[in-house]
Amino acid sequence: MKTNWILLFLAMALCSKGQNIERTQQGWNIKTNASVYQLALTENGRLVPSFYGDKAQSSQFREQDRIRQNGPFALEEIPVRGRYADKIPTLELIFGDNTRDCELQYIGSQILNQAGREVLEIIQKDKFYPLSVTSYIRVLPEYDILEKWIVLKNTSTNKKDIILVENLQSGSIYLPSDRYYLTHHSGQWLREFQLQKTELTAGIKRLQSRDFFSFQNTPWFAISTKEGLADDKSDSPVWFGQVHYSGNWSIDLESTHSNHLQIVGGINFWDTELSLKAGESFSSPKFSVGYTSKGTDAAAQLTHDYIRNEILPEKTKEQIRPVLYNSWYATTFDVEETHQMALAKKAKELGVELFVVDDGWFKGRKTDHAGLGDWEVDKEKFPNGLNPLIKQVNELGLDFGIWVEPEMINPNSDLYRKHPDWVLHFPNREKTEWRYQLTLNLAREDVYKYLLTSMRNLLKDHNIKFIKWDRNRGLSQPGWPSAPLAMQREMRLRYMDNLYKMIDELKTEFPHVLFETCSSGGGRPDLGMLERMDQTWASDNTDPIDRLFIQYGYLSAYPANTMVCWTNKSDAHKVNFDEEFIFDVAMQGVLGIGQDITKWGETQTQTAQDKIAEYKQIRDLIQKGKVCRLKSPFEGSKVALQYTSKQADRSIVMCYNLGETTEGSTNESRQSKYIKLNNLVPTANYKIEEKIYTGDYLMNIGLLWPLRGAYTSKIIKLQKI
């Protein structure tokens, strides 16, 4: 047996060679620019991850030294429910004879090419039952990121052979023994993307969604070996990752008593199961993981580039996002042509490029109690339809956008009266309304076809360049009583499949329409959605103080050209903000205006014109540049972000004061009064206003903090000369 495995090793070494995937005698070195993922193939045909971290390890193959209980139980590349209960399983199955134990054996592997990227494909099969398990690792070396996913197939030809899938995760990561700290997002509605850091002591830490909302956690994590929230910003090993899924997801992190760490990510199969019939396959979503030795800022920058270049929709990913105006706060549901045109004319005067009509334009929509589901233009509000309004908006030189919420339905709607069975519900239970809404059962093909037709007709019949796609309630009562019993707990999986399919169809038919994902604000921020939509409404909270925290946290995981930020008159903390401060906060991402601008006086109008013009001069840096978070609101009252061009010939630094303290009274006030910049050319000269500095000086000495007084801001512009 041993001789056979050695011959197999040699044969595979000859036929499986790639630039980033290296076959060794022990297994594989899977390398990016800065990392190596070492995967061993043992003499008895088991796949065992042995190391993930700095690329220097690639010259020496490390053996896994994970120890549990009273024996050396190795963690496998695809941990399954079976044999020892010493790991988080990525795969849990029940076979036809009720066997709940899975035992995989290695069959073969090959290096594939997917969109110019090397992919390691490894095939395993159950030793007895008709199950094929194919795992994939796709290498994106310049981002130091690996993408992992798994495909199951029931290989039986007997229709009676059904495999019940109770859990399939996208991948598992093993980290050697160390003291690890987890940084993740926590939050709730209006408090999204708050950064939390905790030590991973022995036990399991779970991040998850169970109701299609990701307010409490987002499907992102960062792991370091340093304790303080800012201690790992630079010069620190950091492992980071995301689950590319918009439904229920989970990320589990188990630290053993010996301080080894397993990280598992994928679909959260809570209250979900899948019947895999003979000949059928099921693929997990992607789980992307990365490593850098340069800290969390470098991890964020790598992630930003990865999302901008590899994830965002191909047709629009290079497009500069326009300055938008949204009419919601000016009109709420009282939408009609005359007022909308008054807003559009004022928006044009300010320098806005995209005018968006929000909720209230469709049939029966006078309040949030009625109308959802009836995606026809309200003839009372728009007797001649939307096209006369759109034509006038276009004649001003503005693009036109519109708000929709396709996945929801009001009981007070024609659609519900006609198809009450189309909503998610359980028999003999009162339907739970949330915001006067129920959820359409998008797992049903008739619901899918109705919504696709409704959205297609909306776009086909109108010159719409932007869709704000909202979803204002979480999932509850996921019942599907009309489906066969074996299918009913597949509802969440089928719902997401059809949602993705519908958006994909619309993006294919209307490739130049920008889509914004909104879910009561930041309730659905994930790479599964950003693969299809161009930007994210980060929060319904537009208060500038709160937004500084929300936006700083958002930029840990997602790039600035996906982060929509509005100016508004929100003042939850009773500060009475200066208009320039409000704009400077909103200029960190995709700038939008949300107030009733018809009520603005000359001073507000002039300020808005000046700030929008300034934003347009620097938005290429903001939306496409490298972001460095210099000072964190989670660490003190000073906040600073730096955006720099790829060539490092231009840069801006956005500075904000949240408060003032007596000198020497706090840790922050006892620190240096200078702020050090990053990502510049050390030998180059940079002009700031009328002064000249070298890049070396700015990065190692810095600039004197430019602000005095609470709730003040300043944007510093650097130009290489």
Residues forming the active site = 470, 540
User: At which residue do the structure tokens 């590899």 appear?
Assistant: 310
The per-residue DSSP string of 74-98 comes to PPPSS-BSSS---S--SEEEE-TT-
Specify the amino acid at residue 660: E
532 close to 504: Cβ distance less than 8 angstroms = yes
Residue 22 three-state SS: strand
597 close to 350: Cβ distance less than 8 angstroms = yes
For the chain, how far is it from start to end, CA to CA, in angstroms?
68
Q: Which helix (H) or strand (E) holds 606?
A: helix 602-624
**What are the tokens at 111?**
């290096």
d(CA 642, CA 50): 38
**What are the tokens at 621?**
């840096």
485 CB neighbour count, 10 Å cutoff = 8
- The number of CA neighbours under 13 Å toward the Cβ of 396 is 24
**What are the tokens at 104?**
């995989």
Specify the amino acid at residue 583: F
Residue 195 three-state SS: strand
Q: Which helix (H) or strand (E) holds 125?
A: strand 117-126
**What are the tokens at 24?**
């060794």
The candidate with the shortest Cα–Cα distance to 351, out of 285, 394, 396, is 396
Beta bridge partners of residue 35, listed in sequence order:
54
What's the distance, CA 54 to chain centroid?
25
Cα separations in angstroms, 283 against 148, 287, 497: 11, 12, 11
d(CA 527, CA 313): 11
Question: CA torsion 350→352→358→361, rounded to 10°?
Answer: 90
The candidate with the shortest Cα–Cα distance to 347, out of 538, 587, 513, 592, is 592
Cα separations in angstroms, 710 against 545, 550, 673: 11, 19, 16
474 close to 424: Cβ distance less than 8 angstroms = no
d(CA 442, CA 189): 24
18 close to 257: Cβ distance less than 8 angstroms = no
Indicate the angle between helix axes 337-350 and 387-395, nearest 10 degrees. 20
What is the DSSP secondary structure assignment for residue 598, as one 8-state letter? Answer: G
36 close to 57: Cβ distance less than 8 angstroms = yes
> Which residues are CB-contacts of 239 (< 8 A; sequence separation ≥ 6)?
52, 53, 173, 175, 222, 223, 224, 263, 289, 290, 291
